[in-house]
């Protein structure tokens, strides 16, 4: 098998040696069409790289402004409804979750207005996890810590009673707590909310946990849990309101922010490439139609399928390569100018360059397929006589030859 | 070309043979361009195929050269049946065994005269020094050695056709098929080309099948095949 592959490769290289001067000569003599194709590829590469550069630059810029969230776990999942034990254990069973703790958040009417109150486990209420400006952390049920600015706005004092009210089954239920401290949780998501023990909050308003703090350790596990939640939402009505409320890292957070802005831009880039492919196809097809007779002569002289594929692919490939290099140069220069002359922040990485190379190759392959296939399949005499050629030369249309085809 | 495809071919047998060769084009009610033509061409023979326009001469030549596929019948070159060859097989056969000369010369405009002549040899994989030597010999033989590096656009019609003749002879094919080689030339240039054919036919014993309107070239031919309405109606100078 290896010997067969080697001899096949050797045969192709032999043909390449014969055919490549023809392809290069043909490009040189048809320079206007060649330049048109290279320019089309170059422009689409420029648009793609510039878009990627602006996207990457914006992501970096946003990431630079985003403060990493301080979380008690790797992921916080919240639900609009109580999270039952089965869902909790299902989440815990996913992807080597180290721990999944439940917490309660309740929207209550308070002396400081309507606000969310957090019921936390004692470890999350420990000194150091709550940053206090005055007083102490809640040590028992019926004690509460109020965010400092909320206390100032409402004129609340340490030791004062703090009334909590909630409608439960159409009845207004009231609970009373004592303010033992002013401060906030050091965890970003829990900041700026009154904090009390989970037991007290559950007991006062008959609440079930609606927040889960997951320690997943590994970003891969985080992704798995997110995927699992998506499936869970579809398969269990009770899980419909489950959603991840914390970002994993600032860069990913920034990425998602930027992604929203650039989704329409991506569509534009995609369209640019589609139009480029159509443009290149048009020019290549036109070039083929103008060269039916010479291509027929080559076939008459003994060009085989491989020779034609090498010849025409090489022509298209060289034009694509020229376009790619020109496009990358144009994009590089544009990024440099834009970064110097405007407040924008653009960054070119290796991926967009690889992507541009891949997309250029795709454009060229897609666009050259039709001319190559037509040339391979066309009867030699049809090419020599400049007659219409067809993708299926055995079809009734091809036999008649009066209409259709190329 | 593999010898196993050369069924029962012996030296002295007709080098090129057609059996009930038919080509129909389904235009309108159908046009039969070549109608059950059976022809045998002996090695070293010089055959003229003559007839009015639309008599099927060029179609017959295209079928003989494997440039088109027949609707029915068979073409056999040195025992190799075209119907058993795929497109690549036919391409190899054309490269090694058949030389073509066309009415409109069909030189490749991207190449010089010498490169046009060298191309079939390079395709056949001949060593470069052999390619160079043969190219010079052929261009000298057709009297164009001094125009070797000229583009076809810089040559007159007669000169272009002589380059085309040199190209057709490059791989020393056994059979040369010429389709109206003088049709686009003045009488003097046309005569020069036919004399060139006759010279190679005589010197190298290569077989020539020449399609032409010009019956006056009959004096150069071993046989003259007359065609009308796709059929051979008369053969002068031998049996079809």
Task: Find the CB nearest B27 among A14, A294, A400.
Answer: A400
Contacts of B111 in chain A (CB under 8 A): 22, 25
Contacts of A307 in chain B (CB under 8 A): 123
Count residue pairs from A and B with Cβ separation < 8 A.
78
Which domains can be identified in chain B, with CATH numbers?
43-67+98-237 (3.40.50.300)
Contacts of A26 in chain B (CB under 8 A): 110
Give the residue carrying structure tokens 């006759």: B198
Q: Would strands A99-110 and A211-215 be described as parallel, antiparallel, or unpaired?
A: antiparallel
Q: What pTM value is reported for the model?
A: 0.67
The 10 Å Cβ neighbour count of residue A339 is: 15
What's the pLDDT tens digit per position in B192-240? Answer: 889 989 998 998 889 999 999 888 888 889 999 999 999 999 998 854 4
Q: What is the CA radius of gyration of chain B?
A: 17
Contacts of B96 in chain A (CB under 8 A): 302
Reported residue count of chain B is 240
The 10 Å Cβ neighbour count of residue A193 is: 18
Name which of A189, A184, A85 is nearest A135 in CA terms.
A184
Name which of A102, A100, A114 is nearest A198 in CA terms.
A102
Q: What is the CA radius of gyration of chain A?
A: 34
Q: Would strands B175-179 and B207-212 be described as parallel, antiparallel, or unpaired?
A: parallel
Would you give per-residue pLDDT tens digits along chain A (406 residues)?
Answer: 677 777 778 878 888 888 888 888 888 888 888 898 899 899 988 988 888 887 766 666 655 555 555 677 778 888 888 887 777 777 777 767 777 888 899 999 998 889 999 998 888 888 888 889 999 999 888 899 999 989 998 898 999 999 999 988 888 899 999 999 999 888 877 878 899 999 888 888 888 888 888 887 766 777 778 788 888 877 777 777 888 877 555 555 555 555 555 566 677 777 888 888 888 888 888 888 888 999 999 999 999 888 888 899 999 999 999 999 999 999 999 988 988 887 777 778 788 888 889 988 888 888 889 999 999 999 898 899 888 888 888 787 777 777 777 8
A379 part of contact set with chain B, CB < 8 Å: yes
**ipTM exceeds 0.95, yes or no:** no
- Are the Cβ atoms of B108 and A294 closer than 8 angstroms? yes
Task: Find the CB nearest B120 among A301, A305, A384.
Answer: A301
C-alpha A130/C-alpha A191 separation (Å) is 9
A307 part of contact set with chain B, CB < 8 Å: yes
Give the residue carrying structure tokens 């991926």: A351
A13 part of contact set with chain B, CB < 8 Å: no
Task: Find the CB nearest A379 among B69, B92, B167.
Answer: B69
Which own/partner contact pairs does A345-349 have at CB distance under 8 Å and 24+ positions apart?
A345/A57, A345/A58, A345/A60, A345/A61, A346/A50, A346/A53, A346/A54, A346/A56, A346/A57, A347/A53, A347/A56, A347/A57, A347/A60, A348/A49, A348/A52, A348/A53, A348/A56, A349/A52, A349/A56
- Are the Cβ atoms of B68 and A381 closer than 8 angstroms? yes
3-state secondary structure B7-67: CCCCCCCCCEEEEEEEEEECCCCCEEEEEEEEEEECCCCEEEEECCCCCCHHHHHHHHCCC
**Helix, strand, coil in percent for chain B, rounding step 5:** 40, 25, 35
State the smallest CA–CA distance between residue A2 and chain B in angstroms: 24
Task: Find the CB nearest B110 among A29, A299, A302.
Answer: A29
- Are the Cβ atoms of A302 and B91 closer than 8 angstroms? yes
DSSP 8-state code for residue A30: T
B46-50 β-sheet, strand order: B98-101, B175-179, B207-212, B46-50, B223-228, B231-236
């Amino acid at each position: 098998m290896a010997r067969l592959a080697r001899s096949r490769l050797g045969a192709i290289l032999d043909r390449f040696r014969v055919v490549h001067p023809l392809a290069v000569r043909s490009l040189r003599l048809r320079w206007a069409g060649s330049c048109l194709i290279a320019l089309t590829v170059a422009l689409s590469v420029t648009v793609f790289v510039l878009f990627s550069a602006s996207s990457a630059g914006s992501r970096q810029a946003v990431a630079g402004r985003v403060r990493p969230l301080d979380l008690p776990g790797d992921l916080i999942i919240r639900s609009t409804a109580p999270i039952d034990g089965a869902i909790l254990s299902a989440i815990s069973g996913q992807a080597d979750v180290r721990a999944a703790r439940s917490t309660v958040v309740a929207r209550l009417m308070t002396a400081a207005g309507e606000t969310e109150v957090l019921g936390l486990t004692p470890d999350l209420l420990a000194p150091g996890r709550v940053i206090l400006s005055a007083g102490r952390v809640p040590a028992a049920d019926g004690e509460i810590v109020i965010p400092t600015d909320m206390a100032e706005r409402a004129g609340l004092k340490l030791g004062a009673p703090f009334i909590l009210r909630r409608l439960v089954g159409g009845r207004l239920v009231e609970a009373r707590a004592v303010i033992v401290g002013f401060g906030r949780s050091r965890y970003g998501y829990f900041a700026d909310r009154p904090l009390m023990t989970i037991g007290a909050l559950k007991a006062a308003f008959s609440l079930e946990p609606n927040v889960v703090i997951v320690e997943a350790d590994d970003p891969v596990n985080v992704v798995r849990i997110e995927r699992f939640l998506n499936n869970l939402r579809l398969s269990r009505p009770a899980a419909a309101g489950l959603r991840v409320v914390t970002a994993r890292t600032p860069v990913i957070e920034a990425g998602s922010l930027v992604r929203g802005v650039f989704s329409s831009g991506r569509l534009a880039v995609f369209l640019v490439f589609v139009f480029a492919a159509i443009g290149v196809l048009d020019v290549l097809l036109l070039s083929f139609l103008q060269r039916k007779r010479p291509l027929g002569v080559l076939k008459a002289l003994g060009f085989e399928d491989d020779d034609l594929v090498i010849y025409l692919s090489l022509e298209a490939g060289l034009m694509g390569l020229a376009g790619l290099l020109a496009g990358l140069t144009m994009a590089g220069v544009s990024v440099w100018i834009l970064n110097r002359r405007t407040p924008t922040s653009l960054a070119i990485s290796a991926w967009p360059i690889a992507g541009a190379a891949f997309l250029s190759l795709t454009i060229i392959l897609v666009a050259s397929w039709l001319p190559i296939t037509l040339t391979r399949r066309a009867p030699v005499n049809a090419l020599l006589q400049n007659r219409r050629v067809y993708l299926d030369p055995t079809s009734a249309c091809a036999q008649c030859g009066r209409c259709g085809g190329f | 070309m593999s010898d196993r495809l050369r069924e029962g071919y012996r030296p002295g047998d007709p080098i090129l043979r057609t059996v009930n060769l038919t080509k129909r084009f389904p235009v309108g009610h159908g046009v039969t361009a070549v109608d059950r033509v059976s022809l045998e061409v002996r090695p070293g023979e010089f055959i003229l195929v003559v007839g009015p326009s639309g008599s099927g001469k060029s179609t017959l030549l295209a079928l003989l050269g494997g440039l088109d596929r027949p609707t029915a019948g068979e073409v056999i070159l040195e025992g190799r049946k075209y119907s058993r060859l795929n497109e690549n097989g036919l391409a190899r056969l054309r490269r090694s065994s058949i030389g073509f000369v066309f009415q409109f010369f069909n030189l490749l405009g991207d190449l010089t005269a010498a490169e046009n002549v060298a191309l079939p040899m390079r395709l056949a994989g001949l060593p470069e020094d052999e390619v160079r030597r043969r190219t010079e010999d052929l261009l000298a033989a057709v009297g164009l050695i001094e125009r070797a590096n000229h583009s076809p656009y810089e040559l007159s019609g007669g000169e272009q056709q002589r380059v085309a003749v040199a190209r057709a002879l490059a791989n020393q094919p056994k059979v040369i098929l010429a389709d109206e080689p003088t049709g686009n030339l003045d009488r003097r240039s046309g005569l020069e080309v036919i004399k060139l054919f006759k010279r190679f036919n005589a010197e190298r014993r290569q077989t020539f099948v020449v399609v032409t309107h010009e019956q006056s070239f009959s004096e150069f031919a071993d046989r003259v095949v007359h065609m009308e309405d796709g059929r051979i109606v008369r053969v002068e100078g031998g049996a079809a």
